[in-house]
Amino acid sequence: MAGKGTAELRRRRGRTVARRILVAFAAVLLAFSITMAWSVFAQRRAAQEALLLRTGYVPLLLSLGTALETQNLVSAQLNHITDAKNPADVRGWIETQRRLRPLAFAGVRSAVDRGLRPRKDARAQQLGDDIVAEVGAIEAFLGADGGRWQALFAALQQGAREAAEEERARLIEIEVEGARRLRELGRHVERAMDELALEAATRERRAIELLLLLGALSLGVGVGTAFYVGRVLGPLGRVTERARAVAGGDLRPMAVEAGDDEIGELARTFETMVEAIGRARSDLVAAERMAAVGRMAAHVTHEIRNPISALGLNVELLEEELAMLPKEAEEARQLLRAIRGEVDRLAGLSEQYLSLARRPTRQLEPGDVGALCEGLLSFLRPELERGGIGCRVQVDKGLPEVKLDEAQLRQALLNLVRNAQEAMAGGGDLTVQVVAAQGGVEVLVDDSGPGIPEEVRTSIFAPFFTTKKQGTGLGLAVTREIVDAHGGRISCEALRPQGTRFRIWLPAADHGAG
């Protein structure tokens, strides 16, 4: 039981309103965080690519342009060297450009080292490696023609025009090829820049789409959370409306449709409180009614007891007088016996009313309910069997003691047995069970009679309510009063296929009398 209670407590804690609202807020925060994270990622990626363009690709492209320009100057001077009036000056220009060419190639490598290789972009690093390798190959390719340059300058110096033209044509082919390869490297860098720009544009478009999607998702989650929180807190509004209705006097029990959180528990507790207030008010009205009836019954009974006693005494005197008359007075004697019976019935009714009015003090002492039931049924069994009623008593072992007033509880049980006896006028079965239940003892009185209609069962404990032609309607009212005074409960149930069960619960002695 302790483990079950702990599990129930944990389950309720897991469904608290605060936790539900926190989860809803966490869902909104998660959607917003995803949106912000993607936005930050997109912005950071765009910044990295812009930095790569500015510090990597653009300086590299410029350094390649410088190298190509140097190469083109060499080629241009070479085209006119054989027609120059002063070949020595042209040679000086060419030698100068050739000495600048390694610096241009070094500038390309430096641009790669500064702008591409430090980046974490694998594609940029690969491009840098390819550029450096190709620049090295071009430089080696162009540096391999040193002998031809010497041959060209020697032919020019000797005035061997035909040999100079031949060497110049070969050198032009080499220089043009070098320029072509440098241009191809520039185009390669430009393609990489174009790809980067295209990817950036594509990523920007996707980022906008995703931001719109995530924004819509965040809005949807927010709206859904608002509806969810409204639904969670909705029962609180119904509890408030119910409280206003109760304040206006509506004490009818209402069905509770609430969850397992604090608001649901509040709604159930509130309805339990309303039911208890309604029951207390009904009990108060019944108690006031019983008190008024008791006072009236005491007054009326007091006024009629003396006449009834006088009638009874006179009937006894007349019976004694008639007993000495001959047998012809038998009819008169029968009339007197009938009168005596009615007088006795009136006396019994007056005693019932007095028992309702007196409310005698109860002396509650620990006792054995099972033994009390067995003793009562043992006393009544011959009478019940003469009426064709089979009687059984079942008492569980180890029953706790109950604080009881033996005489009054016996009277309450006797009233139930008498009711069952009257319900089975043609015979039947009566079963009395005494069992342990809910921290006390439960007494079940079952009969196999025709049963009590449901619309009647709700009123059978009310004073003066009866379905019998000559009943007073006080027996079950007194029984309920006795059970209530013992701190117990009494109820009436229908049995299937027929019959009635009266259920009495009494608290164990160690729990008090209530």
Predicted local confidence at residue 120, as pLDDT: 77
CATH number where 484 lies? 3.30.565.10
Q: For residue 301, give the CATH number of its domain.
A: 1.10.287
Cis peptide bond N-terminal to 326, omega within 30: no
Does residue 34 lie within any of the structural domains? yes
Tell whether 345 and 427 lie within a shared domain. no
- Residue whose structure tokens are 């709604």: 267
Residues 296 and 200 grouped into a single domain: no
Could you list the residue range(s) of the whole structural domain that residue 290 is in?
279-359
Give me the phi and psi of 433, to 5 degrees please: -115, 140
Q: Three-state SS for 13?
A: helix
- CATH code, domain carrying 83: 1.20.58
| Residue 386: inside a domain | yes
How crowded is residue 255: how many other Cβ atoms within 10 Å of its Cβ? Answer: 5
Q: Mean per-residue pLDDT for 281-308?
A: 64
Whether residue 162 is found in the same domain as residue 43: yes
| Amino acid found at 135 | V
Inside any domain, residue 226: no
User: Which one-letter DSSP state was computed for residue 465?
Assistant: -
Last-in-domain residue among 331, 359, 387: 359
| Same domain (yes/no): 80, 180 | yes
Cβ atoms 460, 478 nearer than 8 A:
no
**Residue where one domain finishes, among candidates 192, 215, 238:** 215
Check residue 141 and give its pLDDT: 78
Q: Which of 325, 359, 393 is the last residue of a domain?
A: 359
pLDDT value at 3 more than 60: no
Same domain (yes/no): 160, 53: yes
The H or E element that residue 506 is part of is strand 500-507
Q: In percent, how much of the chain has pLDDT > 90?
A: 8
Determine the Cα angle at 356 with ends 350 and 360, to 5°: 115
Say if residue 311 is in the same domain as residue 398: no
Mean pLDDT lowest among 18-22, 217-221, 367-371, 420-424? 18-22
Calpha distance 147→150 (Å, rounded):
5
Q: Evaluate whether residue 392 is within a structural domain.
A: yes
102 plus 174 within the same structural domain: yes
**What pLDDT, on the 0 to 100 scale, is given for residue 6?**
47
Same domain, 334 and 417: no
Q: Mean pLDDT in the chain?
A: 75
**Within a domain: 263:** no
Binned at pLDDT 50, 70 and 90, residue 506 comes out as very high
Confidence class for position 326, pLDDT limits 50, 70, 90: low
Q: 296-309: per-residue pLDDT in tens? A: 666 566 566 667 77
Record the tokens describing residue 65, joined without a space: 């342009």
Determine the pLDDT at residue 471: 55
- Contact in structure between 152 and 77 (CB atoms under 8 Å): no
On whether residue 432 sits in a domain, the answer given is: yes
The strand pair at 428-437 and 389-395 is best described as parallel
Confirm whether 368 is domain-assigned: yes
Within-domain flag for 114: yes
> How many domains are contained in the chain?
3
Tell whether 335 and 403 lie within a shared domain: no
Q: Verify that 41 and 190 share a domain, yes or no.
A: yes
pLDDT value, residue 1: 44
Whether residues 169 and 61 fall in one domain: yes
- The predicted pLDDT at position 5 comes to 46
Find the range with the poorest average confidence among 5-9, 133-137, 144-148, 477-481.
5-9
Q: How many residues does the chain have?
A: 514
Same domain, yes or no: 398 and 479: yes
